[in-house]
Chain A
Amino acid sequence: MKSLSYKALSAATEIIFILYILGASLVMGILVFMNVEEGVTVNLSFSHLDAYDLADDYKFDEIKLESKNSDINDPVLTSLGYKLRFNSSAAWIEGGILFLTIAAIFYIGVILWFSRKVVLSLQNNSPFTFENYRRLRLIGILVLILDPLKWIVSLLIRIWVNSNFILPLGGKSLANYLGYHFGFTLGSADSFLYNSVLFGLIILVIAQVFRHGLDMKEEQDLTI
């Protein structure tokens, strides 16, 4: 395809991919070289929707919390962006943060990589190849389970917070509103049903269309 819209699409895809690599390297660099030695400061924040919801109940600047765990130092609940902040030098906490960050970067990276491959394959040949069908199917599945996965991680963080901190009790259980914030919020109160699940399904439908196109192309190629 040589059309203008294709050139725009492939240029946009390349730019997004390069920016993503740069951003991911930056985040990883900061995380590894600045935090791992002196211990890491973790910010667990509420999703924006919940912050509005909670605003009236918790009018405070900072509350010092008690932690049930000696690895966690100076836990503080602050109303600036509604965060629960603490320091830790424990290897397992740093390791956990590193793992979550790498996993998230890798997940999105894979989706972007395969999308880029599909866009590049449109250049000269017919788009209906078996490779493209498989890539689209993979992207569809990854996008489909993206939000449910986020929800599960949020749940695990909530459980962890409940078992490691003593939180002020109020009208609402604070731990239910926390998620881990690293670039995008793992919002906890949002329903996952209407986010990536819908788009994942659409992409899977498109993958099936490509499969059908593949059959049609094969038929056409063998029509003399």
Chain B
Amino acid sequence: MPIIVNLDVMLAKRKMQSKELAEKVGITLANLSILKTGKAKAIRFSTLESICKELDCQPGDILEFRNE
């Protein structure tokens, strides 16, 4: 998928586990890994808002467009 989700970088910077983030955002760990591995087809703005809030970052910090 040309939109890459770079959660690992942000998680490392904030020293947070995936499981912890999933709990705080309110999604399952499975769904979070779907997001990380690029299998997701869409993300809700509410979910994106939650993630950015917990990781204290901008959407552009975790979403990247690669023209392939």
Residues of A near B40 (CB, < 8 A) are 222-224
A11 to B27, CA, bound (A): 37
Can you list, as one digit per residue, whether each of A197-224 has a CB less than 8 Å from chain B (1) or not (0)?
A: 0000000000000000000000100111
A222 to B40, CA, bound (A): 5
- Please indicate which of the listed interface residues A219, A222, A223, A224 has the most CB atoms of chain B within 10 Å of its own CB: A224
CB distance from A179 to the nearest CB of B (A): 55
Query: Given B27, B32, B42, B47, which contacts A222 in the complex, CB threshold below 8 Å?
Result: B42
CB distance from A137 to the nearest CB of B (A): 26
Interface residues in chain A, defined as those with a beta carbon under 8 Å from any beta carbon in chain B: 219, 222-224
Q: List 22 A-B contacts (CB under 8 A).
A: A219-B41, A219-B42, A222-B34, A222-B39, A222-B40, A222-B41, A222-B42, A223-B40, A223-B41, A223-B42, A223-B43, A223-B44, A224-B27, A224-B31, A224-B32, A224-B34, A224-B35, A224-B40, A224-B42, A224-B43, A224-B44, A224-B47
Extra contacts, 6 of them, besides A222-B40, A222-B41, A224-B31 (Cβ < 8 A), are A219-B41, A222-B42, A223-B43, A224-B32, A224-B35, A224-B44
Residues of B near A223 (CB, < 8 A) are 40-44
How many interface residues does chain B have, given as a range? Answer: 10 to 19
CB distance from A224 to the nearest CB of B (A): 5
Instruction: Closest B residue to A219 by CB, please name it.
Output: B41
A110 to B45, CA, bound (A): 47
A59 to B12, CA, bound (A): 97
A222 to B33, CA, bound (A): 11
A222 to B47, CA, bound (A): 13
Can you list, as one digit per residue, whether each of B31-60 has a CB less than 8 Å from chain A (1) or not (0)?
A: 110110001111110010000000000000
CB distance from A140 to the nearest CB of B (A): 30
Residues of B near A219 (CB, < 8 A) are 41-42
A12 to B35, CA, bound (A): 43
Residues of A near B39 (CB, < 8 A) are 222
CB distance from A218 to the nearest CB of B (A): 8
A67 to B5, CA, bound (A): 84
Instruction: Closest B residue to A218 by CB, please name it.
Output: B41
CB distance from A86 to the nearest CB of B (A): 67
Instruction: Closest A residue to B32 by CB, please name it.
Output: A224
Residues of B near A222 (CB, < 8 A) are 34, 39-42
A222 to B41, CA, bound (A): 5
